[in-house]
Structure 1
Amino acid sequence: MVIDHAWRGLGPGLESLSGPGGAPLTRTVKLIVLPLIVRPALRPELAVDFLGPDQAARLDGLIRESGARLAATAQWYTLLKRARRTLGIVAGSPQDLYFQRCFELATTYGAPAADAEARARAVVEEVAETADGRTVEALKGYLADAARRTRLEGELAAAWESRSPAPAAEATAAVVRAAEVLEACGTPDRSGDSAEYASMVEAGHGGLFGRALWGQAGGVWGGEDLPASLGLTARQVPPRPEIGQGASTATLPAPLDRTLFERLFTVLQSSARREELPTVPELVGREAGRGCAPLGLHDESLRVALVLGGRLAVGLDPLGTGAPAAGRTAAHRAVNSRWRREASVLRARRMTVSPHPDPDGGALEALAQDLRAPWAAYMRRLWVRLHGRDVRDAPLEDLASAWAVLDGVARSVMMDHRARVRSALRALSAPPARAAEQRST
């Protein structure tokens, strides 16, 4: 709220960094405001959910002091996007690739001057060259070779046939251990206690859980109505990954149902620093093995983190309905208490007990339904986050780092839901002609 209020107070000139309602884009907050202006690592008193008057005033002041630099950042971003179009570059998200570079340009040079277009073109070319072929286009070209696809098909078939499913009891045991580990999360004095977490990794509980999914495990979460995969696959068991040749962010299937192309497409599209990725041939070769590994991940610490996330996800209870699995561990209490304070959640909770739950025509009821079963969105986002770490060979060494990811995904899902509620409310409150226009676009 403080960031939103301060941002709107900066006035015009920030349109390219803002949403339709004038608030900063989620990417603006994530890539510019928090890491480059607030800098919570240096100001831990601002890295909390609720700010006191002094902290709120400090945060407000930091953003307002950066007004001129943010306006220049917006101008540079417009120039970089224009240069990108001129050069015919389509790979990657412009916000991910250029937001922080634009803030750097604004800090170094101020508002764009006479040489700005040449400088913007140079930055765009530098970013494209840094990717060094690590693009969706390069991936598509690599997988277009018929002989290469035949070889990959053979490798996938052999790897899939060599799997060894585990009994459902192994999955149940992993879930029980996960609950014990989550009890050490969510409280400052215990978040660094990694003994149970390390024990799960050493015992291979993540891999055992993934192998149990191949054997059609059921009822492992304490409820027959919950699929063991928690939405990671729409099938009864995860299918053998296909190679694929195209992808769209709007139609991506469940994580374990994706083709090799779709899995690597998300990595290449979301990577701001693609120079840190392996080359496309390496990416494809490793993904072929990873796709046939338990839970679609190579690293055991990441598999364990996914099991921990599943145990956390089935206990997410934003509406406070008292679901059987909810609130059993310190981690659940920490996440659920934060979520239940959201204004959109409070409204959704009222809608669930109202005899006329959706007076607004369906939009908010659909969002309320998301809060009744939040585990699917959580697991989908968590898997993508862990898959990205696996591609970069970035394991989670201890419980503190694992909890940072688990809690971060919960915050991300909550913020995404908040943004969708705001968008729905804007559409509902718009004049009829404008609302129709928004629906058509």
Structure 2
Amino acid sequence: MPSPSQPTGESRPRALVIDHAWRGLGAGLEPLSGPDGAPLTRTVKLIVLPLIVRPALRPDLAADFLPPAPAAHLDALIRESATLLAATAQWFTLLKKARRVLGIVAGNPQDLYFQRCFALATEHGAPAAGADATARDVVEEVAHSPGGRTVEALKDHLADAARRARLDAELVTAWASRSPAVDAGAAGAAIERAAEVLEGCGAPGRTSTSPSYAAMVEAGHGEMVGRALWAHTSGLWGRDDLPAPLGLTGRRTPPRPEVGRGASTATLPAPLDRSLFERLFVVLQSSAHRDALPTVAELASREAGRSCAPLGLHDETLRVTAVLGGRLAVGLDPLGADRGDARRTAAHRAVNARWRREASVLRARRMTVSPRPDPDGGVLDALAQDLRTPWAAYMRRLWVRLHGRDVRDAPLTDLASAWALLDGVARSVMMDHRARVRSALRTLSAGPARTAERRSA
């Protein structure tokens, strides 16, 4: 019987494969690891994935869940890089030391130096004679680089009043010159075509070719649905109880983007309500391909146009994937409340079946739909709401990934790639909810224990 911490079947979470291989590398990786010995999130995003795994060159390792053979390949790649990673950790320690000596405080050292340290380790191996001078040179170069792709560089760029005024004017012009909204019939036809495409997904080997996906891209169906959102089209997804943007905006219609001055991960608004700064903040904070990004000046200029485009995206393959994601999202039903819905496609059946057999959260699901008062101040009620409206979390996470690809000029040229992303987001949302449920249950079980302990004292 499968472990509750893993999905049913033979596939394993890629993150778990990386964690297990990393812990097997032994000592010497402490600067790149957390207190528990696992690789830091930035280690995975900035070093392991883009520089060792390189999923763009190894598409079999790009999915969030890996069958046995790709999982073994990934494990081997990481273990083979043990010496290189140890040298990277040593270089990182040296660069942080040089940073302190130079009195530099701007930027996150991991963001700024992780990939530089990997390059140093590749070129020189472990630090040797003269390494201190090399480290100092690298730190000074990064600190004074005008094209630094960091949040700090973005702040500096947008602090200039003339630049802000120019970007604001570009936003006003781009928003005013948008294409007119389409009628509901055209947008509805695009969404019906999305259902046809999703009927061909959900089973191995079924997404190798899809003329329907190519036809949606050719017909501009993603743009159509994006333009429909500007007109507050009701019943867009075939259900009057669902808002047309599916959580992509908290407004009646998406507002004109502002330039913005700051951002916080904890308080980010819905994707289409974000300022230009907030959009690029997410990209610069999370991108595992930062060196491949344009300069901050070019990023800001491109984002002014992108933020006023349909669905906030330039590339039509990504917009079509967003439409497919919306059509999938409205049929997500982890609680099994409407098993007979004729609008379910093969993709819906595959994703919903996986979610419903999550043995580790079955008890929690029963608790979240219980009519009894929530004893934990609303935590379980919030989890219940997530299960009743899973489309909101799904669309928000999907849009962030599509936006990141748009910024990097990485389209989804075939249905297999699009489905891998759509399915991966569904798995990610499911695993995130699983973690939150477990945390809530631990909190609930700890409460009575603490009460009993106080009474016995």
Q: With the length of structure 1 as denominator, give the TM-score of the two structures.
A: 0.79
Q: Distance in 2 between matches of 1:72 and 1:433?
A: 46
Instruction: Specify the code of the residue in structure 2 equivalent to 1:215.
Output: A
| Alignment-mate amino acid for residue 388 of structure 1 | G
Alignment-derived partner of residue 140 in structure 1: 155
Structure 1 position 187, deviation (Å): 2.4
Q: Residue 190 of structure 1 aligns with which residue?
A: 206
The AA in structure 2 aligned to 1:300 is: E
> Aligned match of 2:320 in 301, 304, 320?
304
The one-letter amino acid of 1:189's match is: G
Identical counterparts, % of pairs: 74
Residue 310 of structure 1: how far off its partner (Å): 0.9
Q: Is the contact made by 2:361 and 2:437 (CA closer than 8 Å) also made in structure 1?
A: no
Judged with a 3 Å threshold, the aligned counterparts in structure 2 of structure 1 residues 310 and 58 are, in CA distance, closer, same or farther, namely closer
Deviations 1:250-293 (A, max 9, x none): 22211111122222222233334434333333333322222222
> Which residue number in structure 2 is paired with residue 159 of structure 1?
174
Alpha-carbon distance in structure 2 between the residues aligned to 1:78 and 1:427: 37
Between stretches 204-213 and 283-292, larger displacement belongs to: 283-292
Cα 1:159–1:177 change in 2 (3 A) is same
Judged with a 3 Å threshold, the aligned counterparts in structure 2 of structure 1 residues 413 and 118 are, in CA distance, closer, same or farther, namely: farther
Is the 1:351–1:365 Cα contact (8 Å) retained in structure 2?
no
Residue 11 of structure 2 corresponds to which residue in structure 1?
none
Task: Find out whether 1:170 has 2:183 as its counterpart.
Answer: no
Contact 2:257 2:273 in 1 (8 A): yes
Match of 1:200 in 2: 216
> Deviations along 1:94-141, whole A, 9 cap, x unmatched?
555555555666677777677665555555555556772444344334
How far residue 309 of structure 1 moved from its aligned partner, in angstroms, is: 1.1
Contact 2:335 2:388 in 1 (8 A): yes
Root-mean-square deviation over aligned CA pairs: 4.2
Q: Following the alignment from structure 1 to structure 2, what is the Cα–Cα distance between the partners of residues 321 and 402?
A: 28
Cα displacement string for residues 131-186 of structure 1 (whole angstroms, at most 9, x for unaligned residues): 72444344334434444444443333333233311112222112111111112223
Partner of 1:437 in structure 2? none
Note if contact 1:318-1:339 (Cα within 8 Å) is conserved in structure 2.
yes
Counterpart pick for 1:268 among 265, 284, 299? 284
Cα deviation per residue 1:19-78 (whole Å; 9 max; x = unaligned)? 5666555555555666777788879699784877x9999988887887787666656555
Equivalent residue for 2:246? 230
Distance 1:331 1:340, change over 3 A: same
1:316–1:375: 8 Å Cα contact kept in structure 2?
A: yes
Selected match of 1:345 from 336, 343, 361: 361
Alpha-carbon distance in 2 for matches of 1:185, 1:19: 38
Which residue in 2 is equivalent to 1:331? Answer: 347
CA distance in 2, matches of 1:357, 1:383: 35
In the other structure, the counterpart of 2:453 is none
Q: Which moved more, 1:155-164 or 1:74-83?
A: 74-83
Specify the alignment match of 2:310 in structure 1: 294
Size of the aligned set, in residue pairs, is: 432
User: Which structure 1 residue ranges, 5 or more long, are not aligned?
Assistant: 435-441
Cα distance in 1 for partners of 2:356, 2:381 equals 17
> Aligned runs of 1:246-265 on 2, under 5 Å?
246-265=262-281
After superposing the two structures, state which structure 1 stretch, 220-229 or 68-77, moved more. Answer: 68-77
1:317 is aligned to 2:317 = no
What TM-score results when the alignment is normalised by the length of structure 2?
0.76
Structure 2 alignment gaps of length 5 or more: 6-15, 451-457
Report the CA distance shift for 1:202/1:118 in structure 2 as closer, same or farther (over 3 A).
Answer: same
Residue 181 of structure 1 aligns to a residue whose secondary structure is: helix
Give CA-to-partner distance per residue, 1:204-255, whole Å, 9 cap, x none: 1111111111111111112222111011111101111122222222222111
Secondary structure at the counterpart of residue 106 of structure 2: coil
Q: How many Å separate the matches in 2 of 1:166 and 1:303?
A: 15
